[in-house]
Chain A
Amino acid sequence: MTLTLPSGLLAAALLFWGWRTELWPLALPMALILELAPRVHWRWALDDKALARVIDLTALLWVGALMLLFTRYLNQPPLATHLYTLASWFPLLLFPPLAIQRYSTAGTFRLGHLFYSLRRSRSELAGRLLKLELSYFVVCLLAASVTAQPGYLLGAGPLLFWLLIAARPRRYRWPLVVALSLAACLAAWPLSFSLHRLQLDMEDRFTEWFQDWLVDFDPYRSSTSLGDIGELKLSDRVVLRLKPMSGDRGPWLLRAASYNSYFDGVWLAKGVHFTRLAPQGDGREWRLSAAPERASRHLSINLELRQGAGMLPLPANAWRLKQLPAGELQLSSLGALKASEGPGLVDYRVEYEPESPVGEKSGEFDLTLPRREQVTLQRLADELGLTGQPPAVAAAKIRAFLLGQFRYSLDLPAPTPGLTALETFLLHKRAGHCEYFATAAVLLLRAAGIPARYAIGFSVSEYSSLEEAYVARRRHAHAWALAWLDGHWQDFDATPPDWMSFEEKRAPWYQGLGDLWDWLSHQFSRWRWREATGDEEDNRWLWGLAGLLAVILFWRLLRRQRIRRLPVKNPPAMIIRPGAESPFYQVLEQLALQRGSRPQGETLECWLRRIGAWETPGMADMAGQHQRWRFDPDGLPLEEQQRLANAVALLKTGPARFPP
Chain B
Amino acid sequence: MSASFKLTRRGFAGGLMLLGLGRAVRAQGFAGLGGEAGGFAPVLPGRPLTFPTDHGPHPEFRIEWWYLTANLTDANGAAYGAQWTLFRQAMAPGPQRDGWANQQIWMGHAAVTSAATHRYAEAFARGGVGQAGVTATPFRAWIDAWEMRGGEAMADTTLSPLDVAASAADFSYTLRLTAERPLVLQGDSGYSRKSERGQASYYYSQPFFAARGSISIDGKPIEVTGRAWMDREWSSQPLSSDQTGWDWFSLHLQSGEKLMLFRLRQADGRNYFAGNWIGLDGKSVQLSATAIEIRPTASTAIGERQLPTSWRIAIPERGLSIDTIPLNPSSWMGTSFPYWEGPIAFSGSQSGIGYLEMTGY
Question: A and B from one assembly?
Answer: no
Contact surface of A with B, Cβ cutoff 8 Å: none
